[in-house]
Amino acid sequence: MLSFAIIGAGRIGAVHARSVAAHPAARLALVADPDGEAAARIAGSVGSSGVRSTTDVADVFAATDVDAVIVGSPTRFHVPQIVAAVEAGKAVLTEKPVDLDLARVDECLAAVGDRADRVMVGFNRRFDPGFAEIARRVADGEIGALEQLTIISRDPAAAPAPYLVGSGGIFRDMTIHDFDMARFLLGEITEVSAVGQNLDPDIAAIGDFDAAVVTLRGANGGVATIINSRHCAAGYDQRLEAFGPLGSLEAANHTATAVRFNGRGVSGSSGPYLDFFLQRYEHAYSAELDHFITAIESGVAPSPSLRDGREALVLADAATVSATTGERVRLGAPVSA
Amino acid sequence: MLSFAIIGAGRIGAVHARSVAAHPAARLALVADPDGEAAARIAGSVGSSGVRSTTDVADVFAATDVDAVIVGSPTRFHVPQIVAAVEAGKAVLTEKPVDLDLARVDECLAAVGDRADRVMVGFNRRFDPGFAEIARRVADGEIGALEQLTIISRDPAAAPAPYLVGSGGIFRDMTIHDFDMARFLLGEITEVSAVGQNLDPDIAAIGDFDAAVVTLRGANGGVATIINSRHCAAGYDQRLEAFGPLGSLEAANHTATAVRFNGRGVSGSSGPYLDFFLQRYEHAYSAELDHFITAIESGVAPSPSLRDGREALVLADAATVSATTGERVRLGAPVSA
Amino acid sequence: MLSFAIIGAGRIGAVHARSVAAHPAARLALVADPDGEAAARIAGSVGSSGVRSTTDVADVFAATDVDAVIVGSPTRFHVPQIVAAVEAGKAVLTEKPVDLDLARVDECLAAVGDRADRVMVGFNRRFDPGFAEIARRVADGEIGALEQLTIISRDPAAAPAPYLVGSGGIFRDMTIHDFDMARFLLGEITEVSAVGQNLDPDIAAIGDFDAAVVTLRGANGGVATIINSRHCAAGYDQRLEAFGPLGSLEAANHTATAVRFNGRGVSGSSGPYLDFFLQRYEHAYSAELDHFITAIESGVAPSPSLRDGREALVLADAATVSATTGERVRLGAPVSA
Amino acid sequence: MLSFAIIGAGRIGAVHARSVAAHPAARLALVADPDGEAAARIAGSVGSSGVRSTTDVADVFAATDVDAVIVGSPTRFHVPQIVAAVEAGKAVLTEKPVDLDLARVDECLAAVGDRADRVMVGFNRRFDPGFAEIARRVADGEIGALEQLTIISRDPAAAPAPYLVGSGGIFRDMTIHDFDMARFLLGEITEVSAVGQNLDPDIAAIGDFDAAVVTLRGANGGVATIINSRHCAAGYDQRLEAFGPLGSLEAANHTATAVRFNGRGVSGSSGPYLDFFLQRYEHAYSAELDHFITAIESGVAPSPSLRDGREALVLADAATVSATTGERVRLGAPVSA
């Protein structure tokens, strides 16, 4: 039984609280947030008695009944909280990105040192049953060596501008999931080329793109293409295709039910895609937590690691440079897993 | 090279004229119809010179340059024309049904005698690439012994009442195709149970059903279910599912293109089903003709045979009785292929 | 907050225990089963403390902290336990069928009287998100009046013969769900025609069918067709199509993921259907419980009712007669909801 | 009635001969090829009498009964034959590419001058019913302004090395179709970025790529992504997705039939994609010819034009540079339609 504290009582903190409460080998002990009401609300929501809440994050690190910390605070707090939690002997599951500044991620890695094998980064999509199935089948050689990977990832609608201002830009905020997925399936990346689009003038005004296409070349000769947009009329568009000499594996979008309508002028019509990540990746969050618990309990390093978090940021930085300068970026040092 | 005459210059005659013109081993010599203009129009439509037309069907039987006759006249003329053509030494491809009256079909069989192996009945659906593929894969044992066959067959809209009045009723006019398909896949039928529906008062007024469900029990223990309707908002609904112990094979509906729309509230939406039999079974008509030519040229009996035409009518008669009386009909003598 | 006891610590009891534990407005108080270890195991499995277990079902009716009873015992105990629970003032959610003997169901209805509005029968499929969506859209008039309903329901593999011997036969044990679904969508049924199949000699030896096709005529002119089999190589085959003058709504099968494979000789290949009812109807069980709780808490009668349980059995009895005698069965008295 | 000569008796010449023969407003008069037997074979294959053949292409330009010339010879002969045919007063339908050398294409444009409105380039995919439907629906505003276009185009297997040596490279030989499609849907292109892959050492040995990803930025802010491979295990992979603010339109792959298999471990499995362009674009070739005939007969310029042929080559050249140098190529002068 692993005892958890959650830092951050926002939307993602609530998701993790539910996952912890539902997991047979986990219990929730403490929720911390400067907004004490929000912390208390999540602490009280999970149906177990005895979950504490606090406005002082130091309580988390000091708590002797907390084995593991889920870091779901705003990004700028991730690094100090990861370091403090590790130094207090806790295992850590941190939301992505580790930080928006590569230098700070490297400081985090240095500070954590060998204890990085007790830290996991929440790239939840690796745990989506469909994507995980494709990763497994590719690894099993079903399609031969992965030659072309196509990731289509579109949000239903852009987040409000105030959120996007501090987001680090589309590549560090949104594409970062796809960069991790590209590394997950294709391995080491050597070259990044990105084209940004400014379709929404409000987003252009804050110096960010709202759509982009990124091409990544893998060290093994494969190429990944990522197609992003901040909006999608039909819902949260999350698809992936892995192509090799023996065939291809596609993960299609999800709809709420398998009902199809046929009528005047139309056939085979389904409902829209699931709305957003909480619905689409509901199972992924549970499976992610389960992996973390199993790894920590059995003393093996959970994955994706802090270093995976770093390498996704390296790709995001390179894409930012490429989209801005129009030049292809070759990664000087190999990106290792 | 087989030289053809076509009797009947209606819609189906035009289809056959095009198929004959396009077939490398066939030529069209003569078109006969009491409506001489219609006959001439079809004769002139195929892009070859020298196609004659006539208002006198006797010219067909007398023509020394005609090897084969396609009978596409109204149903009541089928039997005398089949017999006359056979007696004139022609091979015959006749539209279904052979006749609406089983006694007359039996007279036809008696008159034709051994020469029945030069007569084919145009159950075109056996030649649909999808249904034919399923028949072949079932015969190859891919799903094991056929246990349950489900045929859904719905027209886009009911034919006008004047046509339906003389049609022999839904079972002899429309379901007859499905009865043949059931025999094609399931073999000999021993028992028929039918439920008729009167959803359209105009069709009820002429003493016919406009929808029906028929259950057929096969001698081998399999059961076929046929679901019919005279209307379907999304187009011509033509599906089939063959189920056995090792799996199932489904033939899905066809749409004009493989384009799908995703948008606000909807995903995966295709266009409607192809409109009606001329579009849906375009390939089937060509393949049917090709089979007929190949069989006649090589001296083997074409299939489906006159007897297949008879047995489909036996099932239609039984379904008519069952739907009217509410009783299940056991077929006294085995229905042989 | 509704406090529950569960009678029966088998597979379905475990499902209900999890649903109760996960529901924010429910708590599990007591589990009863003659097998005390099984009862204790389920009581201990839900992660809450203080769940009691007993081998004496009388404890359930006597418990002052139990508001509602879930009856998940073998079928022959349903009626006495429903009656006892109701007389003890409990609300009841009972598994189907209410009983295999219509006379006993009628006794149950008589004994329960007005308190039947506190009893719900667990026809879980009404709560499947896909089927429920179709029911709602049909009720909203999207396809016009329901004319033809097609239900395909095939189990992955037959239950062991010892279970089937006491099952009441395929119509009362398996098709009963489809009878309820037909009534749910089509309303009152006036006529039943059934064809049974004996493909499996072991099941034939115990006097039961292992596959069947049933046709039901509705009072409103619609017809429902039910196609059942005790086996299906690709998994649990659960489909439904509602057809009306304005279009049709289909509920397709579910697979574990939305991954599709394309390769040598194949395209668009998904994994098998979900294995069986616990996987396929996982959401339905939760939604069923939620409806029960909401109805009981707000003092309205839950649905499907005891009378719905009775009418499904009437149809099962009629189908049994029809399949055995070969005659269509007209239902003397209208079947009212 | 338009009278045609075909130059080139290879595979594509045979396709055009069949299309001409089947078109009610066209007749085939002459087939020219240095291989006289091949020319005669095609001349004799179409079922009309009086089709001549020749080994001397000059006969085509001299023939007074030839209105239109289809140029299906090897690429290096296209320009002189286009010019000679135009100068002889013929309309021209030429296969793509116009030439592999942009300077020669410009010479061709200069030589043809105003008579370019009698020349059409055979970018057959514009006439594929699915792609044409998407183009029409995009033009109708169904998805709003086109923001992201994704074209996946994979051949079933690489052509033999001797063919590829003279092909001009993957971008001029294969991607050229996709460049035209991108311009067809997205309009003017301002920027090209390409990544080439060397998965097949035989193709690498001749200095060509066998797979590539190309990103094109449109003048209107849209971005097109083209994903190519010279091989695909499941057949000829031809897909397209147009995405805009109001939704997306996808053209899926085609299979020979709509049959799907479900069985142990698998569901929804179709046959492979259609094998190659002759099967996949059969309808497109007919529709292309029909457009050409209609345009020429009515005196309007057919489309795609010679200039469209030029602009596709400009993109292919830019992609070649980008893939070789690793730099993005900005197109100096706007690419006009």
pLDDT at position A160 is: 86
Show the DSSP H helices in C211-256 as ranges. Answer: none
Selecting from A221, A229, A243 the residue whose C-beta is nearest the C-beta of D148 gives A229
Contacts of D133 in chain B (CB under 8 A): 256-257, 259
- Residues B202 and B209: their CA atoms lie apart, in Å, by 10
pLDDT at B335: 41
The closest of D160, D171, D182 to D211, measured between CA atoms, is D171
Q: Does position A337 have pLDDT exceeding 50, yes or no?
A: no
Token reading at B83? 């017999």
Is the per-residue pLDDT at D104 higher than 80?
Answer: yes
Task: Write out chain B in H/E/C secondary structure.
Answer: CEEEEEECCCHHHHHHHHHHHHCCCEEEEEEECCCHHHHHHHHHHCCCCCCEEECCCHHHHHCCCCCEEEECCCHHHHHHHHHHHHHCCCEEEECCCCCCCHHHHHHHHHHHHHHHHHEEECCHHHHCHHHHHHHHHHHCCCCCCCCEEEEEEECCCCCCHHHHHCCCCHHHHCHHHHHHHHHHHHCCEEEEEEEEECCCHHHHHCCCCCEEEEEEEECCCCEEEEEEECCCCCCCEEEEEEEECCEEEEECCCECCCEEEEECCEEEEECCECCCHHHHCHHHHHHHHHHHHHHHHHCCCCCCCHHHHHHHHHHHHHHHHHHHHCECEECCCCCCC
CB nearest to A328's CB, from D147, D243, D326: D326
- Against chain A, the chains showing at least 3 CB pairs within 8 Å are B, C, D
| Residue A287: its H or E element | helix A282-298
At D45, the pLDDT band (50, 70, 90 cuts) reads confident
The pLDDT tens digits for B101-136 are 999 999 999 999 999 999 999 999 999 999 999 999
What is the rounded average pLDDT of the residues D304-331? 96
Position C333 scores a pLDDT of 58
CB contact under 8 A, D246 and B264: yes
- List for chain C the helix, strand, coil content (%; round to 5): 40, 25, 35
Pick among A152, A154, A250, A266 to test the B interface (most B CBs inside 10 A): A266
Quote ipTM for the complex: 0.95
Residue D334 scores a pLDDT above 70: no
Average pLDDT value for residue range B183-209: 96
- The helix or strand, by DSSP H or E, that contains position C289, with its residue range, turns out to be helix C282-298
Q: Is B235 on the interface with A (CB under 8 A)?
A: yes
Of B233, B267, B273, the CB nearest to A234: B267
Dist. CA C237–CA C231, nearest whole Å? 9
CA distance B195 to chain C (A): 8
C266 touches D: beta carbon within 8 Å = yes
Q: What is the mean pLDDT of chain B?
A: 95
Q: Report the pLDDT averaged over residues D56-82.
A: 97
pLDDT value at residue B333: 58
| pLDDT score of B332 | 72
B336 has a pLDDT exceeding 50: no
In C, minimum Cα distance to A251 occurs at C259
Nearest-Cα distance to chain C for B91, in Å, is 39
Nearest to D148 among A211, A246, A326 (CB): A211
Asked if the C-beta of A304 comes within 8 angstroms of chain C's C-beta atoms, the answer is: no
Contact B252 D246 (CB under 8 A): no
pLDDT single digits (tens) D244-282: 999 999 999 999 999 999 999 999 999 999 998 889 999
Q: Which of D253, D264, D272 sits opposite C265 (nearest CB)?
A: D272
- Quick one: pLDDT band at residue D160, thresholds 50, 70, 90? confident
Confidence of residue D335 (pLDDT cuts 50, 70, 90): very low
Q: How confident is the model at residue B24 (pLDDT cuts 50, 70, 90)?
A: confident
Say what the pLDDT of residue A166 is. 86
Chain C contacts of B223, Cβ < 8 Å?
A: 195, 197, 211, 213
**CB contact B258 to A (< 8 Å):** no
pLDDT of res. D47: 66
Contact criterion met (CB < 8 Å) for B133 and D257:
yes
Cβ contacts of B150 on chain C, cutoff 8 Å? 150, 152, 227
In chain B, residues with a C-beta closer than 8 Å to the C-beta of D248 are: 261-263
Confidence of residue A335 (pLDDT cuts 50, 70, 90): very low
pLDDT at A334 exceeding the cut of 50: no
Q: Considering Cα of D53, then D55, then D60, then D63, what sign does the dihedral take? A: negative
Q: Which residues of B fall within a CB distance of 8 Å from A237?
A: 262
- With bands split at pLDDT 50, 70 and 90, how would you rate the model's confidence at A333? low
Q: Would you place residue B47 in the very low, low, confident or very high pLDDT band (cuts 50, 70, 90)?
A: low
Q: What is the pLDDT of residues B53-90, one digit of tens each?
A: 999 999 999 999 999 999 999 999 999 999 999 999 99
Q: How many CB atoms lie within 10 A of CB D107?
A: 14
What six digits make up the tokens of B43? 């004769």
Residue B50 has pLDDT above 80, yes or no: yes
pLDDT of residue D159: 86
Percent of chain B whose predicted confidence (pLDDT) is above 90: 91
Distance from C-alpha of D286 to C-alpha of D291, rounded to nearest angstrom: 9
Taking CB atoms and an 8 Å limit, are C264 and D271 in contact across chains?
no
Using the Cβ of B267 and the Cβ atoms of chain A, whether some distance falls under 8 Å is answered with yes
For residue C69, the model assigns a pLDDT of 98
* Dihedral of alpha carbons B54, B60, B65, B68, sign: positive
- Cβ pair D234:C266 closer than 8 A: yes
Residues of chain C with Cβ-Cβ distance to A143 below 8 Å are 263
* CB contact A152 to D (< 8 Å): yes
Q: Rounded mean pLDDT of chain D? A: 95
Please tell me if residue D140 touches chain B, with a CB cutoff of 8 Å: no
CA distance B228 to chain A (A): 16
Q: How much is the average pLDDT of B318-324?
A: 97
pLDDT in tens, A215-257: 999 999 999 999 999 999 999 999 999 999 999 999 999 999 9
Among all chains, which residue has been given the structure tokens 């995976």? A308
The Cα C172–Cα C179 span in angstroms is 9
Residue C34, chain A, CB below 8 Å: the answer is: no
pLDDT of C334:
45
Q: Is B153 on the interface with C (CB under 8 A)?
A: no
State residue A29's pLDDT score. 96
**What is the pLDDT at residue A46?**
77
Note whether B255 contacts C: Cβ–Cβ < 8 A.
no
Mutate which: B239, B269, B275, B280, vs A, most A CBs within 10 A: B269
Segment A188-206 shows an average pLDDT of 96
pLDDT the model gives residue C160: 85
Phi, psi of A70 (to 5 degrees): -100, 120
CB-CB neighbors (< 8 A) of D247 in chain B = 261-264
d(CA B230, CA B226): 13
B334 has a pLDDT exceeding 60: no
Instruction: Determine how many CB atoms are found less than 10 A away from the CB of residue B220.
Output: 12
Displacement of CA B295 from its chain's centroid (Å): 18
B50, B150, C240 from C243: Cα distances, Å? 50, 16, 10
pLDDT at C336: 43
**A137 reaches D (C-beta below 8 A):** no
Secondary structure (DSSP) of A93-152: EEPSPS-S-HHHHHHHHHHHGGGGGGEEE--GGGGSHHHHHHHHHHHTTTT-S--EEEEE
Structure tokens at D201: 């050492």
Share of chain A above pLDDT 70, in %: 98
Spatial contact of D259 and C257, defined as CB atoms under 8 Å apart: no
User: A110-117 contacts: CB < 8 A, separation 24 or more?
Assistant: A111/A83, A111/A86, A112/A82, A112/A83, A112/A86, A112/A306, A115/A86, A116/A301, A116/A305, A116/A306, A116/A307, A117/A300, A117/A301, A117/A302, A117/A305
Q: Tens digits of per-residue pLDDT, D193-227?
A: 999 999 999 999 999 999 999 999 999 999 999 99
pLDDT of residue D24: 84
Report whether pLDDT(A191) > 60: yes
Residue B195, pLDDT > 60, answer: yes
Q: In the prediction, which pLDDT does A265 show?
A: 96
- The pTM assigned to this predicted structure is 0.95
Using 50 as the pLDDT threshold, list the residues of chain C that sit under it: 334-337
Position A234 scores a pLDDT of 97
Whether A223 sits inside 8 A of D213 (CB atoms) is yes
What is the mean pLDDT of the segment spanning B310-331? 96
Mean pLDDT of the region A85-95: 97
Query: Are B71 and B270 within 8 A, CB to CB?
Result: no
